[in-house]
Amino acid sequence: MKLHLFSVAILVVVLPMSVSMAPTNSMESTNQWDDNTPVFQVLKELGEPMPAHYRPQHDAQAVKQGEELIKYGVTQAPDGTTTTLQSQFFVCIDCHNVSREDPDLQKSDPETRLDYAIQHQRRFLPGTTFYGIVNRTSWYNGDYQKKYGALATTAHKNLENAIQLCATKCAMGRDLEEWELEAVLAYFWSLELRLKDLNLSESDWKKLRLTPRLPRNNQRLISWMKGLYLNASPATFSKPPVVRTATDHYIPDIEKGKAIYVLSCMSCHKNGGITAFTLENSPVTYRLMRDHTAFGANFSVYKAVRNGIKASPGKGYMPNFPLQRMSDNQLQDLQAFIMNQATHDSLPLEPFVDWIK
């Protein structure tokens, strides 16, 4: 009887100790991550240090003010007054989308981006999208470093400085006040990448949910996850391509050229747009553009897209398109569309024109 009681006592003591000593790093993760979980939330919970521009709180009023600054150039100040226009020439969305524009976030491919734009009714613009901009680790990359020199150096690894550089040089406007800058950051954080954007497979989800939470495993997961999207937007400037002959291998796609003409060119050069040079669906417009290309003028499609057009007194400028934003083949598509329109009955521009209003 005494032996039995002793055995029971041993079990009572040992069993709780066995439970308390059970491994805490179970193969089953306790996280509640789903498609809408922000990527940075996952990285933070895995132990990734947050960047200097990280803002954990998103005040709804600040997000609204930031969105208005990005889309309209003005908003309501904290004292109730309306801010002065950030730029008399541009608003941010003249050059940048605010929604996803690449089917694969690991690539900066203008060919697949145009297909995605057509499928999802997006504009095809020279600047990278603001969607996921907070998830990047550098800005003003590649040849933008050469274009802006020392100014780009301070903005390259600092999102706040990058925003101010864009506001003053790219938009030809004024510096943002501190509260305006914070509002823009708040809006940008509302556009951060979420797990659904990473195109995770079933095995990817298992990797996230079932990997034991250990420091060495967490670091592998962090590196793996950050490899699922570009941490920087590449930019390569190129000389205007020469006009290709019929003997070239590439066969231009007129329908793709039409999409570029509307979703890119007419996005700025439409009636009521930001430039006095209006592009229309008329033989006069197409013949003018055709003749400029034929003479190799500075305002040819090729030179305008690759070199941009300098600002003139009282007017803004046209930014150039890096190769990652419009390919040489797409330039050929655009030119083929223009030549077709100049010599044949005009193709209708629907449904694209409805997407840029």
Q: Which segments within 122-219 are labelled E, that is strand?
A: none
What separation in angstroms does the CA of 83 have from each of 68, 169, 174?
11, 19, 12
**Within 13 Å, how many C-alpha atoms sit on residue 207's CB side?**
13
Question: Cα separation of 269 and 271, whole Å?
Answer: 7
| pLDDT averaged over every residue in the chain | 88
Rounded distance between C-alpha atoms, residue 57 and residue 186, angstroms? 8
The count of C-alpha atoms lying within 13 angstroms of the C-alpha of 23, restricted to the half-sphere facing its C-beta, is 8
CATH class of the domain at 254-355: mainly alpha
For the question of whether the overall pTM of this predicted structure is more than 0.75, the answer is yes
Amino acid (1-letter code) at residue 28: E
- 5: pLDDT confidence band, cut at 50, 70 and 90? very low
User: Would 60-102+128-192 and 254-355 be classified into the same CATH topology?
Assistant: yes
Quick one: average pLDDT of 335-340? Answer: 92
Comparing 357 with 324, the larger pLDDT belongs to 324
| pLDDT confidence bin for 243, thresholds 50/70/90 | low
pLDDT at 336 over 60: yes
What CATH number does the domain located at 60-102+128-192 have?
1.10.760.10
pLDDT, greater one: 216 or 1: 216
- Over range 233-257, report the average pLDDT: 83
Structure tokens at 342: 């100049």
* Least confident residue range of 6-10, 183-187, 290-294: 6-10
Spans of all domains in the chain: 60-102+128-192, 254-355
Question: Rounded distance, CA 246 to CA 257, Å?
Answer: 17
